[in-house]
Amino acid sequence: MLPRHPLILKITTICTTVVLAGVLFYNRNPNTVVHRRLMYLPTMQVGRYSFSDITALVQELNAIQNSPPTTTTEEPIHAIETYVDGEAITFDIDAEPCLKSHYLLIYVHSDPGNAERRRVIRTTWASNEILKLHGAKLIFVTGQVETLDMQASLDFESQLHKDIIQANFTDTYRNLTYKAISGLRWAQENCPNTTYVLKTDDDIVVDIHRVVRLMKAYIENKWGKKNILAGYIWPHMNVDRNKSSKWYVSPEEFPKPFYLKYCSGSSYLMSTDVVAKFYTNSLTVPFFWIDDYYVTGMLASAAGVTPTSLNDRYILENNADMAALLQNDSKTRFVFVHSPDTITSNFVWKKFLERWG
């Protein structure tokens, strides 16, 4: 037998340790575990898993989704990838560009037929007086309409208020991503010196005074004026596979059973550099028709922007929080409230003012 040279022994020991450590690390790395389990998720029989299995899986997913941004882009796999040519969008109606450096540009996705909702927004939380007070500017983003009558009334409204843009796509819910890209393009072209941009919908009431205070006291101090995306985060929203649902998404359009972390489209805040990055990326990130996922999920991921949660500031359904707000509970923290109709919008705004003053 050959005498064992101490050096060979040492090398063997080191090699074995490295291999063992590697195997251990591979198995302990939550990403590998989850990714291996994810492969089975679409066929997972929930009944065969205990509750704690599923809770653990959700926790692991949260851990991954809360981890620092990576540069990989998660894109749905389309049979045929299509792109929105944002540069080819034209504006049939245009609004006045920013004539100075505003603190906040507010752009509201609006259905052309929702003149009453726009009127309420202009007379409540985004009145000229309030816009002036906060150095803000308001625009409504719409698309092309079906009838000449509606076009005529939109033209009239636009001449009166100079706050409407109408991009040349048909305004349907399946085209909302066109609306989102039109808004991003308009913002980065016409208001490049704005500090922040708030995207919202015409059925949301915003406590603008508190939002501005929140931004100055919290967002600006904690995260600064760059690379900001903040809103109501859906950490792992299930893809709607209900064929009779308006928001049904087929496995061909989006194969995974749930979306990566993204923000509800109801209201989100961006810094202006983020708006510019999102618009630029929209030219090369394939089209997906769910606009809030497209912008705050896919474009954000392509830009390496991670959303910040403001979840406790939102009321998105008519629930106990809504009841508390409407019952004069001045301690409520909510600043973005979904409102089913304009009567409620007026009422919520009144409550916001009482709470404020």
CB of 143 to ligand NAG, least distance (A): 7
96 versus 252: smaller Cβ distance to ligand NAG:
96
CA angle, residues 35, 40, 43, in degrees to nearest 5 = 150
Query: Which neighbouring-strand residues pair with 137?
Result: 105
From residue 73, give the alpha-carbon distance in Å to each of 125, 132, 276, 281, 297: 37, 39, 18, 11, 9
CB of 326 to ligand NAG, least distance (A): 9
CB of 356 to ligand NAG, least distance (A): 10
192 versus 235: smaller Cβ distance to ligand NAG:
192
CB of 193 to ligand NAG, least distance (A): 4
261 versus 351: smaller Cβ distance to ligand NAG:
351
Which phi-psi region, left, alpha or beta, contains residue 328 (left: φ > 0; alpha: ψ -120 to 50)?
A: left
**Angle between helices 6-28 and 30-38 in degrees, nearest 10:** 50
- Burial-class residue 198 by CB neighbours within 10 Å (0-12, 13-18, 19+): buried
276-302 b/e with 16+ CB inside 10 Å = b? bbbbbbbeebbbbbbbbbbbbbbbbbb
d(CA 312, CA 314): 6
Contact 316, 264 (CB under 8 A): yes
**Angle between helices 30-38 and 51-65 in degrees, nearest 10:** 120
Binding site for ligand NAG (CB under 6 A): 88-90, 98, 100-101, 168-170, 172, 174-175, 178, 193, 242, 244-245, 328, 354
CB of 273 to ligand NAG, least distance (A): 13
CB of 272 to ligand NAG, least distance (A): 11
Q: Is 8 helix (H, G, I), strand (E, B) or coil?
A: helix
* Neighbour order of strands in the sheet with 204-206: 204-206, 336-338, 314-315
102 versus 338: smaller Cβ distance to ligand NAG:
102
121 versus 325: smaller Cβ distance to ligand NAG:
325
176 versus 310: smaller Cβ distance to ligand NAG:
176
166 versus 264: smaller Cβ distance to ligand NAG:
166
CB of 168 to ligand NAG, least distance (A): 4
Among 67, 39, 37, 36, CA closest to 54:
37
12 versus 147: smaller Cβ distance to ligand NAG:
147
d(CA 205, CA 266): 10
CB of 335 to ligand NAG, least distance (A): 18
CB of 329 to ligand NAG, least distance (A): 9
What's the farthest any 2 CA atoms get from each other in the chain?
Answer: 100
9 versus 353: smaller Cβ distance to ligand NAG:
353
